[in-house]
Chain A
Amino acid sequence: MARNISFQQAINEALAQEMERDETVVLFGEDVVGGSGAPGDDDAWGGVLGITKGLYPKFPNRVLDTPISESAIMGAAAGAASSGLRPVAELMFVDFLGVCLDQIFNQAAKFRYMFGGKAVTPMVVRTMFGAGIRAASQHSQALYPIFTHIPGLKVVVPSNPYDAKGLLIQAIRDDDPVIFLEHKALYTLEGDVPEEPYAIPFAEANIVREGSDVTIVALGRMVQLAEQAAGELAGEGIDVEIVDPRTTSPLDTDTILESVENTGRLVVVDEANPRCGFAADVVALVAQEAFADLKAPPRMVTPPHTPVPFSPVLEDAYVPTPATIADAVRATAGAATPA
């Protein structure tokens, strides 16, 4: 039965249900218990934002705090996955990728290929990303394009509580390494989520809103902003379709292309930096596969090619907004058909 719960609760519930179902699922990371070895409460934090709160008391042998050693955490996940566990390792902020990428992209991601198909590495890296909470340059990035670029990894970017639960369950059951990116500004977002476990397959885009004039492809928190823009544009007579790919690797190219075939117009909204990013990837896909269907040049709505700034005024100018999205859609809708 579905209840209205938050994105954060949906993730916690997915973890609890999978740990209950499968004794090989383990959870570790910095402060995922939060309080290990300290004189106060066990499970004092349950994650830096409390996402894993309550899991340690239920599964005391399978929820582990770690030293602040991201390379060791990611490598331990790869080693555990290679030897019979299904680890869910937490990389607290995706920005910390800089100190541990090797264990993800040179080790876990490549084992199966380098070892001639023998390796199975069923690990999940849960990590928090995204701007909007004044956390500045080293705690706000949207680095999913970096993971998407790496063969061997699967990359999940949920946009709502229902998807968060179903995609995380799929990630844990999946036999390949999965990077699961949680937008920190979505944790309190509420939505209807069934209580029972369910898995949402990867590479199945969600058509968030059907429309006939312009296709918006958006991920993560950008889906919400796109919905706001679409509501505004509806009043102007522009009928927007929103496609949420949910996973960037594998990518549901069919749904994106079908939508563009119907609308002929594409706007990609992406919180990552623009160069060699997700938006550019989708635009390239459409240019290559659906050029004849295009009635106007595709547009990318992204932050500028800068780090994420701190000051609220600057950060608000950095992140796409419903207004900048709506402007791009209007420009696309009004653009003439290419000769």
Chain B
Amino acid sequence: MSAVAPPGTGDVTKEQVLEAYRVMRTIREFEERLHREFATGEIPGFVHLYAGEEAIAAGVIGHLGPDDYVASTHRGHGHAIAKGCDVKGMMAEIYGKATGICRGKGGSMHIADIDQGMLGANGIVGGGPPLVCGVGLTAKVKGTDQVAVSFTGDGGSNQGTFLEALNLASAWHLPVVFVVENNGYAEATSSAFHQAGIDVAKRADGFGMPGVMVDGFDYFAVRETAGEAIARARAGGGPTLVECKVGRYYGHFEGDQQTYRGPNEVEDLRRDRDCLDHIARRVTDGGFVEQSDLDAIDRAVATLIDEAVAEAKAAPDPTPADVLTDVYVTY
């Protein structure tokens, strides 16, 4: 086996590759399983699936430590898993159970664990970017080397909150990174229309920060680009805007018939651009990682997700009295 990383993969170690693969596979299995389970009608509410975009969560959040923070989007399961949120607790949360990571009060759209530095999926498009400015301020005032990353879709990049946050982060020279996951659609409206087809990354120039575009299907490319941005933030070099061009495998929400998409669009993405196929091929071709290592991860993840669903289904519901708790610390 070669101890040297394949060309173009940076200085990544085998352990890092395996961890990234594990995170990506966990997200994929979590989302594919939710897609199937949602169709049974057993899951309440709405879910927005991250499948197809896993390389971004793994490539960005892999650089963060437990004291760093992320603010996510409505499509937030992937960020939560990558940030270390408990997968079984997340599944139970999506089923609305008392054992959920938010005790059944948040659901898919507010999945969060502050203790893990996960400031929440967010039901408000563009809700997250201002929050990371506050985390960045905390790091500055306290003199820590913490970094905060906000994820936003191409849709969210058109909210005033996003633009205000970019400007404030620049004015205050904050240790934050704004990652735009441009999957080409704001709900059903194409980025060719809603941002006139102009790259979000170009907006960075107007806020006096670096703006970088990267292939969001390519874990190694995301890892390298995000690594530079996060290192710059950590070293006091200020904010960066990173735009990841990517695509989603499912609709805006589960149940979306996606009639706005082109014929074979998703099939082509799955066949030609799959981020898990890509990372597996890159690291096994040259023998950097054995296929058997990846297979072992696949099996472990499959078991984890099976258990997560079974335990979530069997878990107790919250009691009606729980509606009254957790509103205030004191009142």
Taking beta carbons and an 8 Å cutoff, which residues of A are in contact with B? 24, 26, 28, 61-62, 64, 66-67, 69, 71-85, 87, 99, 102-103, 106-107, 110-120, 151-152, 154, 174-176, 203, 250
User: Mind listing 22 A-B residue pairs with CB under 8 Å?
Assistant: A24-B141, A67-B168, A69-B167, A71-B164, A72-B165, A75-B127, A76-B131, A77-B134, A79-B119, A79-B138, A82-B135, A83-B134, A84-B138, A102-B161, A103-B161, A110-B110, A113-B326, A116-B104, A116-B326, A118-B114, A120-B329, A176-B329
**How many angstroms between the C-alpha atoms of A121 and B127 in the bound complex?**
16
A102 nearest in chain B by CB position: B124
B132 within 8 A of A: yes
Whether B327 pairs with A112 at a CB distance below 8 angstroms is yes
- Chain B residues lying within 8 Å of A113, measured Cβ to Cβ, are 105, 326-327
**How many angstroms between the C-alpha atoms of A113 and B136 in the bound complex?**
24
Within 8 A of A (CB), among B121-141: 122-124, 127, 129-139, 141
Given contacts A26-B141, A67-B167, A117-B325, 16 further A-B contacts (CB under 8 A): A66-B168, A67-B164, A72-B133, A75-B133, A79-B130, A79-B135, A83-B134, A83-B135, A85-B134, A103-B130, A115-B105, A116-B104, A116-B326, A118-B114, A176-B328, A176-B329
B133 nearest in chain A by CB position: A76
Taking beta carbons and an 8 Å cutoff, which residues of B are in contact with A? 69, 71, 100-106, 110, 112-115, 119-120, 122-124, 127, 129-139, 141-142, 146, 148, 160-161, 164-165, 167-168, 171-172, 325-331
**How many angstroms between the C-alpha atoms of A308 and B129 in the bound complex?**
34
A89 to chain B, nearest CB (A): 9
Contact of A82 among B114, B124, B129 (CB under 8 A): B114
- Chain A residues lying within 8 Å of B139, measured Cβ to Cβ, are 83
Asked whether A106 and B135 contact (CB < 8 A) given A79-B148, A113-B326, A114-B106, the answer is no
- Chain A residues lying within 8 Å of B106, measured Cβ to Cβ, are 114-116
B112 nearest in chain A by CB position: A115
A111 nearest in chain B by CB position: B120
B269 to chain A, nearest CB (A): 32
**How many angstroms between the C-alpha atoms of A225 and B134 in the bound complex?**
40
**How many angstroms between the C-alpha atoms of A175 and B330 in the bound complex?**
8
Contact of A78 among B69, B134, B326, B330 (CB under 8 A): B134
**How many angstroms between the C-alpha atoms of A151 and B324 in the bound complex?**
11
B122 to chain A, nearest CB (A): 8
Asked whether A102 and B127 contact (CB < 8 A) given A67-B168, A72-B167, A85-B138, the answer is yes
- Chain A residues lying within 8 Å of B329, measured Cβ to Cβ, are 112, 120, 174-176
A89 nearest in chain B by CB position: B134
Whether B130 pairs with A67 at a CB distance below 8 angstroms is no
Nearest 3 pairs of A and B residues by beta carbon: A75-B130, A79-B134, A80-B134
